[in-house]
Amino acid sequence: MDIVFVLVEPARAENIGAAARAIKTMGFNQLRLVNPGDMRAAQWVAHHSNEVLEQAVIVDTLEQALADVDLSIACTARHRLQKDRYVDADQCAELVAGKGNSVQRVAIVFGREASGLTGEEVARCDLASSIPLAQEQPSLNLAQAVMVYAWELRKRPPALPVEVNPATFGHTRRALHQLLAALQIQPNENLHQWVDELLPLASDRELGLVRQLLRRIRNR
């Protein structure tokens, strides 16, 4: 499983460099930047993590950053989250590790320094997550938040990448969407929304049960 850290419109080069350093320190190396600001000072802060910056993928939109991602998790403030789609930072790492080889690539998405992610960007992700704080102020800065998630993920290392097969999370979700479409269940209906909200929370074993059910339906 690949873990990708996505920063949406980071404005300060120092924060980009510090985030790269946090990622490298915790054993990760994949960074994607959505429409970043001036990055010239980032290397001064990265400190032995310049290869993360050099290999970072720069794109214009969040859609592009998540194009090849199976499971995306938006890091945002607790009060903005939908209950069914929320996990704490430690639960996030546990959930990712529990996906096993059903998920090939996971993206942890962070927002702007001043305003975070928009509601539309949070909705675009499969899950939302937040770091429980003792008090709302002062809040963590961008690089600190990246470090917390990288540390939690390091404590629970996910499965190593394997050859892509039809049993992945992405394939399962697409198959379910095809079934819902065949049943003429629209994306704005409750059942469709429940599938979208609850499927990302399913464990590898639970996803296996869903795949068995889909196979039974196809073979009827």
Domain span holding position 133: 2-155
Domain co-membership, 93 together with 16 = yes
pLDDT at 198: 73
Domain co-membership, 16 together with 116 = yes
Count of domains observed in the chain: 2
Q: Is residue 102 part of a domain?
A: yes
Running DSSP on this structure, what letter comes out for residue 159? P
Domain co-membership, 26 together with 126 = yes
The CA distance from 83 to 149, in Å, is 20
Structural contact between residues 151 and 26, judged by C-beta atoms closer than 8 angstroms: yes
Domain co-membership, 202 together with 136 = no
pLDDT at 147: 95
Domain co-membership, 56 together with 131 = yes
Domain co-membership, 90 together with 189 = no
Domain co-membership, 11 together with 51 = yes
pLDDT at 159: 57
pTM: 0.77
Per-residue pLDDT of the chain (220 residues; tens, 9 = 90+): 899 999 999 988 899 999 999 999 999 999 999 999 888 778 777 777 888 888 999 999 999 999 999 899 999 875 555 545 778 888 888 888 887 777 889 999 999 988 899 989 998 998 899 998 877 766 789 999 999 999 999 998 765 555 545 557 777 888 888 888 887 888 777 777 777 777 777 777 777 788 888 888 877 7
Domain co-membership, 34 together with 119 = yes
Please report, for the domain that includes residue 85, its CATH number. 3.40.1280.10
The CA distance from 216 to 208, in Å, is 12
